[in-house]
């Protein structure tokens, strides 16, 4: 285990939600010498699996409830799939908010509606806790390297308190504004990510149908003016889809696109590209591809809705 360099071990951390991102964050914090006191997941086996990856002498408690996890920590990092899961985790007598102590800080990293963030703040503050609306941009490999980008909304004081913890996970931590702005910024980022995914899928299919080998076409994209980080780290998902784990499923893509279009409608912003992306994502899900990675859009465009594999170039 790497020796702590920045004092992160002084704060006790709980991680609530140990899916792909939450699990990776818990393990990364442990490797950086942080005191991860507790982990919790609605499916206890997932939390047990994460705890099993720790050194035996530093194994966190697998908390039975969000309240128990929060009660053991100074900083609670939450990583969940959608707004309903988040609300259910915070609310009620065994919810996260009930376990917070005066001075606790909740770092909410889930991709959710800005309106939900305000609901959570109203749950957290009566017990003396502070909420940071701090979703992340980045994938599991970036968590493992400590290169996430945090998009933090909320007050500056709690952000400064938890900055050493975030610095163990992130290359950049942006304070983008008040409560709810982190969630809004994440939706704006995801609108671009999903636009890139759509146009990359279309361009790849176009080149392949014209006789260019898929790997060659992708290499050209990486070397061109459009070779953004997304294009580089999605290489295997597009070129070797059968061998690459799902990083961001189409079901979650559709959930985020609904949040993006909902926010845009409330703000009076026209987002025609995003509407197209949402239409295509819904059609791919109706074709049975909801559990596949977002790169499966390329296969859907190649083979059409009659094919259920979502794999292109086979």
Which sign does the torsion angle of CA 189, 195, 199, 201 carry?
positive
Burial of 54 (0-12, 13-18, 19+ CB in 10 A): middle
Percent with pLDDT over 90 in the chain:
90
Confidence of residue 113 (pLDDT cuts 50, 70, 90): very high
Contacting residues for 97 by C-beta, under 8 A, at least 6 apart? 70, 90, 91, 123, 124, 126, 127, 129
Q: In angstroms, rounded to a whole number, what is the distance separating the alpha carbons of residues 52 and 220?
A: 42
Q: Is the pLDDT of residue 1 over 50?
A: no
26 and 15 in contact (C-beta within 8 Å)?
Answer: yes
Confidence of residue 139 (pLDDT cuts 50, 70, 90): confident
User: Up-side HSE of residue 70: CA atoms within 13 Å toward CB?
Assistant: 29
Give the pLDDT confidence score for residue 62 in this predicted structure.
98
Which sign does the torsion angle of CA 252, 271, 188, 132 carry?
negative
Give the pLDDT confidence score for residue 305 in this predicted structure.
54
Q: Is the pLDDT of residue 8 over 50?
A: no
Q: Is the pLDDT of residue 36 over 90?
A: yes
Confidence of residue 228 (pLDDT cuts 50, 70, 90): very high
Give the pLDDT confidence score for residue 5 in this predicted structure.
45
**Residue 269: C-alpha distances to residues 187, 194, 308 (Å):** 13, 17, 34
The 8-class DSSP code of residue 106 comes to E
**Domain map (residue ranges) of the chain:** 8-178, 185-303
Give the pLDDT confidence score for residue 10 in this predicted structure.
76
Q: Domain 185-303 falls in which CATH fold?
A: 1.10.1040
Q: Does domain 8-178 have CATH number 3.40.50.720?
A: yes
132 and 153 in contact (C-beta within 8 Å)?
Answer: yes
User: Up-side HSE of residue 32: CA atoms within 13 Å toward CB?
Assistant: 27
Tokens of 108: 């909410």
Alpha helix stretches (DSSP H) within the chain: 20-31, 44-51, 66-71, 83-90, 96-99, 114-124, 140-145, 156-167, 181-209, 214-223, 229-233, 235-239, 250-267, 272-284, 296-303
Q: Is the pLDDT of residue 4 over 50?
A: no
Do 8-178 and 185-303 fold alike per CATH?
Answer: no
Active site residues: 186
Give the pLDDT confidence score for residue 304 in this predicted structure.
66
CA angle 21, 247, 228 (to 5 degrees): 105
CA angle 85, 45, 165 (to 5 degrees): 65
Q: In angstroms, rounded to a whole number, what is the distance separating the alpha carbons of residues 145 and 236?
A: 18
Overall average pLDDT of the 123-143 stretch: 93
DSSP per-residue codes, 223-251: HSTT--HHHHHTHHHHHSGGGS--SSBHH
Give the pLDDT confidence score for residue 303 in this predicted structure.
83
Overall average pLDDT of the 192-210 stretch: 97
Overall average pLDDT of the 102-129 stretch: 96
Overall average pLDDT of the 32-57 stretch: 96
Q: What is the CA radius of gyration of the chain?
A: 20
Tokens of 271: 């987002």
Q: Is the pLDDT of residue 200 over 90?
A: yes
Contacting residues for 310 by C-beta, under 8 A, at least 6 apart? 241, 284, 287, 289, 292, 296, 299, 300
């Amino acid at each position: 285990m790497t020796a702590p360099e920045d004092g992160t071990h002084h704060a006790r951390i709980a991680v609530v939600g140990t899916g792909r991102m939450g699990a990776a964050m818990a393990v990364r914090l442990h490797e950086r010498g942080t005191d991860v006191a507790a982990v919790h997941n609605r499916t206890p086996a997932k939390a047990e699996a994460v705890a099993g990856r720790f050194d035996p002498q530093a194994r966190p408690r697998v908390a039975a409830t969000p309240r128990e996890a929060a009660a053991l920590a100074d900083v609670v990092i939450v990583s969940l799939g959608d707004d309903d899961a988040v609300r259910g985790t915070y609310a009620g007598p065994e919810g996260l908010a009930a376990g917070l102590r005066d001075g606790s800080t909740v770092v909410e990293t889930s991709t959710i509606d800005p309106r939900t963030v305000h609901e959570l703040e109203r749950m957290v503050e009566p017990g003396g806790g502070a909420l940071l609306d701090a979703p992340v941009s980045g994938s599991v490999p970036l968590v493992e390297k400590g290169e996430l980008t945090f998009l933090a909304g909320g007050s500056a004081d709690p952000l400064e308190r938890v900055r050493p913890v975030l610095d163990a996970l992130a290359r950049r931590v942006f304070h983008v504004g008040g409560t709810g702005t982190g969630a809004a910024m994440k939706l704006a980022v995801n609108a671009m990510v999903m636009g890139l995914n759509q146009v990359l899928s279309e361009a790849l299919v176009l080149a392949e149908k014209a006789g260019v080998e898929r790997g060659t076409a992708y290499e050209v994209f990486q070397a061109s003016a459009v070779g953004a980080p997304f294009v580089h780290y999605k290489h295997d998902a597009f070129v070797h889809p059968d061998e690459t784990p799902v990083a961001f499923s189409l079901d979650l893509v559709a959930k985020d696109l609904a949040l993006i279009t909902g926010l845009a409608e409330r703000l009076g912003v026209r987002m025609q590209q995003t509407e197209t992306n949402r239409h295509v994502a819904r059609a791919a899900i109706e074709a049975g591809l909801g559990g596949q990675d977002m790169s499966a859009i390329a296969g859907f465009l190649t083979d059409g809705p009659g094919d259920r594999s979502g794999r292109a170039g086979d």
